[in-house]
Structure 1
Amino acid sequence: MTSHHREGIRTARSLVVKVGTTALTTSSGLFDASRLAELADAIEKRMKAGSDVVIVSSGAIAAGIEPLGLSRRPNDLATKQAAASVGQVALVNAWSAAFGRYGRTVGQVLLSAHDISMRVQHTNAQRTLDRLRALHAVAIVNENDTVATNEIRFGDNDRLSALVAHLVGADALLLLSDIDGLYESDPRKAAAPTRYIAEVSGPGDLDGVTAGRSSHLGTGGMASKVSSALLAADAGVPVLLAAAADVSTALTDASVGTVFAARPRRMSARRFWVRYAAESAGTLTLDAGAVRAVVRQRRSLLPAGITGVSGRFFGGDVVELCGPDANVVARGVVAYDATELATMIGRSTSELPGELRRPAVHADDLVAVEAP
């Protein structure tokens, strides 16, 4: 099965490969280093062919179960974090041993959602990953499970891989799953055969699709993978969702799995950060006219169009912009502190002192989150 989208993945010079927990564990949930070694073999072949590869690897909690004498994956947060702290050592050592067979050095990069959301940490992570690649080391990225509770609760390594793909300027993202692609519903649970979806050109192709939320081994599920694939594709990175068992074919000719087509133009690093990575520090409520100006005309937001301010934010923070119906229509970098902006809402520029005549959010710092 070939298309120009698959060709783009096949010929990508730089890739991010996300490896889920189910790809690294037995059916009973125990970490299996031999499975990891098989994945490393396929990735090594792709690297020898000339591609740079960054790996986002789950599995730390699973890798900590046996060393701690646990009988199964823990449910409480403290034990999950303890298992992650032990398992992360085993996980990175397994990757190091697997690539050591090829004379490659492995570097561990632990990130939290906070690291990605803060602009300085975001840039530092980008520089670290770029430098590791320049030094020919294989970067193994994982959520910092011991402190990042969001990953443990919501299974966000899929989302992390999409953020990392844009962070390093990857040409493609490969999401390895325990299913061979996207189906209209879970083929393991469907009473009758379910439709296989080979290509997703946009969110409209997912009408009628029901994606599962999680597995008993990992914390992510198909819904997380689809959401992350759409995020990466919207930022300009094509995505291939395939089974870990098909990794060799996926990395050779990309003829397996479901491909998510990328938008024609890659989103700038700053706009991507504003839309997807940055934490929102507050909310501005807009009147209908301001919503039209921001979303449809891509104009700056002026204080006159603001009807409400909430949250404690400062100039330079990212805020969400909501319409009269409270739905988020855009995100942007606000120019004023919350207390200052609260005194300006509803006032025209001519009514304000000279130092307060800048837009509340400049068009260059605005990213709409709904289609115009």
Structure 2
Amino acid sequence: MGQRIVVKIGSSSLTSEEGGLNREHVRFFANELAALHAAGHQVLLVTSGAIAAGFRRLGYKTRPKQVHEKQAAAAVGQALLMEAYQEAFMASGITAAQILLTRPDFSHRSRAQNAQRTIEELLKQHAVPIINENDTVAVDEIKFGENDSLSALVANLVKADGLYILTDMDGVYTGDPRTTPHAVRIDRIEVLSDELFRFAGGAGSSVGTGGMRSKIDAAHIAMQGGVPLFVGRVSEAGDLQAAVAGSGKGTYFASSLHSLSAKKHWIGFLSDPQGRIIVDHGAEEALLNKGRSLLPAGIIASEGEFHPGEVVEVVNSQGRILGRGVTHYSAWQITAVAGLSSEEVQRRVEVARIEVIHRDEWVASSLIKEANTHE
């Protein structure tokens, strides 16, 4: 039975250094994906390249820096990019479908579920969903920053069997092999260490916005979602099939042995916390070390305005973030019952359940290593 595979291709693989779409490269990658499709795999493509493809058409001599200029370039380039993909996939009898996403599409659970249902239907109809960030409307505050992270979020959303991030380097090294003669490629990574993040370095080419660091950040997201990851080079026919078979030119990342459920992954990585709940030492121990739910007795206070069903951060009395969870109480109810026993709470307020945050809707901060943790 075929696998569900997410492949991410960056700007530098699809365009020239000067900018503009290289249709020969697009056809090459489409053929590689079509081979997987013909082998019975479900294939999703996460692509960059809209801005790089479009900025020359608008007369910019170099890749634009201002947000509105990037958005204008993307508006032109996205059409060119999809036209090239449609043409290339059609040669193999495959229908390509465009999906544009921004971070709020993931942080709002209903929108994420809608995107998931759309993707599922496209795969059912044997189409190849082509996913890109909606650069024409995204701003710096809501952008993914690099489509590597987008590909990892998509892979988790659709419960992919593997994520393959294609780059111009044949894997992750202990340094930049272009400047460090003794750098050694790492064939397999089981755990993401701080040392590995130091190895990753900074940005790559002038056309794209990513580097090996963003690949490591994506690996963290994918691994916590239980999705194994490959980062490497696909430059010759058959390279992508070899990567899927386990013999690719690159580095393989193991999936986490303790991967999060889809709901917990959304809580931990995608949700937008609406407030804070401050807890005492006993509640901290119960949440982090005893697998317990958060009860009113362990709460000191709350901050912000939130309602039942929304995600909140939980912090200790020193302000250290302990994790996130779905609250079953509104902010005013928290204020009314903070520090009270369960019996007293039931006498004072009407709530659906006594737990403020149930352990099944709680994710500890040790699992929520956002990309900036290693800055």
TM-aligned CA deviation for residue 119 of structure 1: 1.1
Structure 2 distance, partners of 1:152, 1:318, is 18
Q: Are the counterparts in 2 of residues 230 and 260 from structure 1 also a CA contact under 8 Å?
A: no
- Runs of 5+ in structure 1 lacking a partner? 1-10
Is 1:264 paired with 2:264?
Answer: no
Q: Is the 8 A contact 2:102 2:144 kept in 1?
A: no
Compute the displacement of 1:71 (Å).
0.7
* Structure-1 residue corresponding to 2:340: 347
Maintained 8 Å contact 2:5/2:162: yes
Higher relative contact order (CA 8 A, sep 6+): 1
Alpha-carbon distance in structure 2 between the residues aligned to 1:42 and 1:32: 16
Distance 1:66 1:207, change over 3 A: closer
The CA distance in 2 between the partners of 1:272 and 1:144, in whole Å, is 23
Give identity over the alignment, percent.
Answer: 39
Tell me the residue number matched to 2:93.
103
Inter-CA distance 156–12: structure 2 relative to 1 (3 Å threshold): farther
Deviation of the 1:122 alpha carbon:
0.7
Partner of 2:246: 254
Which residue in the other structure is 1:213 paired with?
202
Q: Which whole-Å CA distance do the structure 2 matches of 1:306 and 1:31 have between them?
A: 56
Give the corresponding residue for 2:150.
160
CA displacement 1:351-370 (0-9 Å, x = unmatched): 32342461111111111231
| Cα distance change, pair 294–152 in 1 and its aligned pair in 2 (3 A) | closer
Q: Which segment is superposed worse, 105-114 or 211-220?
A: 211-220
Name which of 350, 357, 370 aligns with 1:361: 357
Match of 1:326 among 319, 332, 336: 319
> How far apart in 1 are the matches of 2:150 and 2:164?
13
Tell me the CA shift for residue 29 of structure 1. Answer: 3.2
The aligned counterpart of 1:198 is: 187
1:33: how far off? Answer: 1.8
For residues 291-327 of structure 1, give each alpha carbon's deviation from its aligned partner in whole angstroms, at most 9, with x where no partner exists.
2211222211112222332232211111122234433
Moved more, 19-28 or 46-55: 19-28
Separation (CA, whole Å) in 2 of partners of 1:151 and 1:82: 18
* 8 Å CA contact retained: 1:295, 1:370: no
TM superposition shift of 1:251: 2.6
2:176 to 186, 192, 205: 186
User: Cα distance, 1:349 vs. partner?
Assistant: 2.0
Provide structure 2 residue ranges, at least 5 long, that are not aligned to the other structure: 368-375
Give secondary structure in 1 for the equivalent of 2:92. coil
Counterpart pick for 2:269 among 265, 276, 286: 276
Change (3 A) 1:290 1:213: farther
- Report whether the alignment pairs 1:225 with 2:219: no
Moved more, 132-141 or 307-316: 307-316
CA offsets per residue over residues 186-216 of structure 1, 9 Å max, x none?
A: 22233x3213211110123845733233232
The aligned counterpart of 2:370 is none
For residues 3-42 of structure 1, the C-alpha deviation after alignment (integer angstroms, 9 at most, x for no partner) is xxxxxxxx86110001111111212233212111111111
Q: TM-score, normalised by structure 2?
A: 0.90
Q: Is 1:41 matched up with 2:31?
A: yes
Secondary structure of 1:72's match? Answer: coil
**8 Å contact kept, 1:159–1:224:** yes
Query: What whole-Å deviation, never above 9, does each CA across 1:40-63 have from its counterpart, x for those lacking one?
Result: 111111111111110011111111
- Normalised to the residue count of structure 1, the TM-score between the two structures is 0.90
- TM-superposed CA distance for 1:159, in Å, is 1.3
User: Residue 8 of structure 1 aligns with which residue?
Assistant: none
SS at match of 1:228: helix
Structure 2 CA distance for partners of 1:222 and 1:324, relative to 1, 3 Å = farther
Native 8 Å contact 1:18 1:55 kept in 2: yes
Q: What is the Cα deviation at residue 344 of structure 1?
A: 2.5
Alignment of 1:302 onto 2:295 = yes
Please list every run of at least 4 consecutive aligned residues from structure 1 whose deviation after the TM superposition is greater than 4 angstroms.
151-154, 205-208
Could you say which residue in structure 1 is the equivalent of 2:366? 370
Aligned-residue Cα RMSD (Å) equals 2.1
Deviates more, 1:160-169 or 1:200-209: 200-209
SS of the counterpart of 1:210? Answer: helix
Pick closer, same or farther for the CA change 1:27–1:106 going to 2, 3 Å.
Answer: same
